[in-house]
Amino acid sequence: MTNKDARTPASAQDETSQEAGKSIGWHKAYVEGSRPDLRVPVRQVHLTNGQSVTLYDTSGPYTDPLVDTDVRRGLPPLRENWIISRGDTEEYAGRPVRPEDDGVKHTSPRGGLRNLDAVFPGRPRQPRRGRDGQAVTQLAYARRGEITPEMEFVAVRENVSPEVVREEIAAGRAVLPANVNHPEIEPMIIGKRFLVKVNANIGNSAVTSSIEEEVEKMTWATRWGADTVMDLSTGRNIHTTREWVLRNSPVPIGTVPLYQALEKVDGRAEELTWEIYKDTVIEQAEQGVDYMTVHAGVRLAYVPLTANRKTGIVSRGGSIMAAWCLAHHKESFLYENFEELCEILAAYDVTYSLGDGLRPGSIADANDEAQFAELRTLGELNRIARRFEVQTMIEGPGHVPMHKIKENIDLQQEICDEAPFYTLGPLTTDVAPAYDHITSGIGAAMIAWWGTAMLCYVTPKEHLGLPNRDDVKTGVITYKIAAHAADLAKGHPGAQEWDDALSDARFEFRWEDQFNLALDPDTAREFHDETLPAEPAKTAHFCSMCGPKFCSMKISQSITERFGGAAAEGASAEEIAEGMLQKSKEFAASGNRVYLPIAD
Ligand code: IRN
Ligand code: FE2
């Protein structure tokens, strides 16, 4: 067993993690598929009792000390040979990315691909696309009955047969976002038959963070378990930031191209055109964006339906499209040109994330006519996308009280032919700014249990400001809890093994194992150390909650010992009561003190 430092570049400066790294009892391992270049990463946790537990791992090559990662070079292009050997893509000269396509008023040096060649000298790349514009999507392959290496990869990851993966994709019940220009990703799947996934949003704004910070937030988010990351950058260097994020990301990257298109018209929504939007989509598809939020369901006729809402339109994309529709008094250009957009996305295998531009922004507005009118349109667009063999998921709310959540997933599944649902929370109350990771984590757990495939995280900064690194971590961990709680409730194969391993460690006072199995080992260890910092306390058979002499776990363990393992299960009520009485006497004899000095 090798105990390896599990640091990512993001955590390299983090003292706590470095500390944790020294004693971390897990290492990165790979499960090989049917061919040597199909190696699925896992987190192998080594327990002190000699057993080991295998966990899903999203952290990418950063946690593999055998891979020499350098953010200036980008990650190894894992999928490149798979893509090229299919023989259905060609290098595509496309339109060169003009500096003005960067979406910002430039000061030099300018962004754009020319500079990026200098940024990634080892990776000169020419974008690819489907030969003659043909659909090169996982959906197209699945419908033809082909099991791609990407499908086999996710089958190993999810512990299901490749045929189940192919069937779910072919039926449109799952998506495998994997742009042909993003060969660096470790494929993953989003669908209700699979583990519930978590997306983390990052992105700079005009005033705050730098490119380095965004790359760091991405590696940080995936280290804690984010399955996809959305780059919602709007400020300066939007194109270059995205290039850095893409070249270094082990997970699929999503964007909202409308944001960059809006930058190109200096923030004046009414000046947007289909041409500008289309150019932006192509630019991002050539870079390798794996899925795009498209707010094509905000139709002109639905805008008045929001007039009497308490909080109107809260979606950024939704409000841009509503403003455009009203300014021109025309149908949405996204809705009108949807088929052409499908052709573009199909040629790169960009997955649709059909945006919920009319989602409710308050408890009062939940499940109203505007929201459901848009959902019906998303159902219609989902069927069009399917005709063009574009993978599609559907975005959902928002702010929804608990008793109105189930209707959301039930309607979505019915209207959108079971396409994967991807929801933002929902937030179950409006009264807790600064705690909206919790108000929404509650809704997220419920809606995931009922079949939502991916959860968009909400951080404590929601409604208040931009998340920093700590907020990103809190958001991801909160949502991993919601997702895993749903996996358990859904009976996903293997989900409970993790809980069982942790429960055993807790019951047997194997503290190090408890930490190493935890979603957040660093914080678990830190909290424990606050009360019992001494090293022997980590092997002590009591916890700081109850102290050495008064611990329910300890008592029931001594019952187990006394009556001999499994026999204890058969122990009579009287025998157990006798054991308890004995403990009570011991407790009284020690002076009825719950908390004892550590030296005791
Ligand atoms: C997810 C579900 N509903 C919305 N989302 C996410 O919200 C979406 O994926 C993207 O990250 C962000 C888009 O916000 P606007 O433009 O709809 O506010
Ligand atoms: Fe909100």
Amino acid at 119: V
Beta-bridge partner residues of 89: 130
Q: Is any atom of ligand 1 closer than 6 Å to the C-beta of 353?
A: yes
423 lines ligand 1 (CB under 6 A): yes
Q: By the 8 A CB rule, do 421 and 396 touch?
A: yes
What is the per-residue pLDDT across 83-125, written as a single tens digit (0 to 9) for each? 999 999 998 765 545 444 444 443 333 333 334 444 444 455 6
Q: What is the pLDDT of residue 14?
A: 33
The verdict on the CB of residue 371 being under 6 Å from ligand 1 is: no
Ligand 1: which of 315, 358, 393, 423 to mutate, judged by most atoms within 8 Å of the beta carbon? 315
Q: Ligand 1, residue 232: give the atom nearest the CA.
A: 11
Could you list the residues known to form a binding site for substrate, using ranges.
201, 230, 259, 295, 315-317, 356-359, 395, 422
**Ligand closest in space to the Cα of 315:** 1
Beta carbon of 422 within 6 Å of any ligand 1 atom: yes
Helices (H) and strands (E) in the chain, counts: 22, 15
Contact present, 443 and 404 (Cβ < 8 Å): no
Q: How far is CA 200 from CA 136, 287, 465, in A?
A: 27, 20, 15
> What gap in Å lies between CA 418 and CA 439, rounded to an integer?
26
476 in Cβ contact with 198 (< 8 Å): yes
The reply to whether ligand 1 has any atom less than 6 angstroms from the CB of 315 is yes
- 316 ligand 1 Cβ < 6 A: yes
Provide the whole-model pTM.
0.87
- Determine whether the shortest distance from the Cβ of 317 to ligand 1 is under 6 A: yes
| Of 324, 334, 335, 325, the residue nearest 267 (C-alpha) | 324
Residue nearest to atom 1 of ligand 1 (CA): 424
Report the binding-site residues: 201, 230, 259, 295, 315-317, 356-359, 395, 399, 422, 463, 543, 546, 551
Maximal CA-CA distance, the chain: 85
pLDDT of residue 3: 31
Closest CA to 596 of 552, 539, 547, 550: 547
Q: Which value does ipTM take for this structure?
A: 0.99
Ligand nearest to the CA of 321: 1
Measure Cα distances from 501 to 498, 507, 565 in Å.
5, 10, 18
Q: Ligand 1 pocket test: pick from 230, 231, 293, 457 the residue with the most ligand atoms within 8 Å of its Cβ.
A: 293
Could you tell me the distance, in angstroms and rounded to a whole number, from the CA of residue 317 to the centre of ligand 1? 8
Cis amide bond preceding 426, omega within 30: yes
Mutating to test ligand 1, I would choose from 324, 456, 466 the residue with most ligand atoms within 8 A of its C-beta, which is: 456
325: which DSSP letter?
A: H
Q: How deeply is 235 buried, as exposed, middle or buried, from its count of CB atoms within 10 A (0-12, 13-18, 19+)? A: middle
Minimal CA–CA distance to 252: which of 294, 290, 280, 287?
A: 290
Question: Quick check: CB of 320 below 6 Å from ligand 1?
Answer: no
The Cα-based distances of 520 to 223, 276, 514, 525, 526 in angstroms read: 10, 44, 10, 9, 10
Are 548 and 586 contacting, i.e. CB atoms less than 8 angstroms apart?
no
Question: Cα(113) to centroid of ligand 1, in Å?
Answer: 27
Task: Name the CA radius of gyration of the chain, rounded.
Answer: 26
- CA distances for 144 relative to 71, 389, 597, angstroms: 38, 11, 69
Reading the block at residue 199, the tokens are 């997306």
The answer to whether residues 232 and 242 touch, using CB atoms and an 8 Å cutoff, is no
**What's the pLDDT at 116?**
43
- One-letter amino acid of 438: I
Atom index in ligand 1 nearest the CA of residue 295 equals 17
Residue 60 Cβ contacting ligand 1 at under 6 Å: no
390 lines ligand 1 (CB under 6 A): no
- Strands 228-231 and 253-255, by their bridges, are parallel
Decide: 283 and 348 in contact? Cβ < 8 Å: no
Of 188, 178, 293, 138, nearest to 230 by C-alpha is: 293
**Ligand number, closest to the Cα atom of 232:** 1
For the CA of 356, the closest atom of ligand 1 is: 3
Reading the block at residue 98, the tokens are 């003009």
Helix 469-490 × helix 211-223 angle, to 10°: 30
Nearest CA to ligand 1 atom 5: 424
CB 395 within 8 A of CB 405: no
Query: Which segments in the chain show pLDDT lower than 50?
Result: 1-23, 96, 98-122, 565-568, 599-600
Q: Which of 393, 206, 419 is nearest to 290 (CA)?
A: 393
Residue type, 226: A
Bridge partners of 393?
A: 353
How high is the pLDDT of residue 71?
84
Element housing 561 (H / E): helix 552-563
Any alpha helices (H) in 224-299, and if so which ranges?
238-248, 257-264, 274-287
Query: What spacing in Å lies between the alpha carbon of 354 and ligand 1's midpoint?
Result: 9
CB proximity list for 248: less than 8 A, separation 6 or greater: 71, 74, 75, 184, 215, 218, 219
Q: Which two tokens stand for residue 224?
A: 């804690």
Q: What is the dihedral of CA 52, 485, 170, 457, to 10 degrees?
A: -110
Alpha-carbon distance values, 2 to 24, 51, 227 (Å): 10, 14, 26
- Residue 547 confidence (pLDDT): 64
Query: Prior bond to 379 cis, omega within 30?
Result: no
- The CA 356 to ligand 2 mean position distance, Å, reads 13
Measure 355 CA to ligand 1 centroid, in angstroms: 7
Residues counted in the chain: 600
